[in-house]
Amino acid sequence: EKNQKQLKLWVYRLLLYSVLLYLIACTVVYVWYIPEQMMGKLIVASPFLIFPL
């Protein structure tokens, strides 16, 4: 039971850090790399829209 609690904690932390890293990456791309044109915005944002699926 102790190992199971430890495993759940590791999985929770991994999920939390992954989500935080994903949100930080989205923010960096949005702030620094989004082009002016709409087509450029869609091309740059497409990996972030497709990845969670």
Q: How far apart are CA 45 and CA 28, in angstroms?
A: 11
What would the DSSP string read from start to end of 8-37?
HHHHHHHHHHHHHHHHHHHHHIIIII--SS
| Mean pLDDT in residue range 29-44 | 80
Provide the residue ranges of all domains of the chain, joining segments of one domain with +.
Answer: 2-50
Query: pTM for this structure?
Result: 0.61
Q: What is the pLDDT of residue 52?
A: 67
Q: What is the pLDDT of residue 41?
A: 81
Q: What is the pLDDT of residues 3-30, one digit of tens each?
A: 899 999 999 999 999 989 988 988 887 7
| Mean pLDDT in residue range 38-46 | 83
Contact between residue 29 and residue 44 where contact means Cβ atoms under 8 Å apart = yes
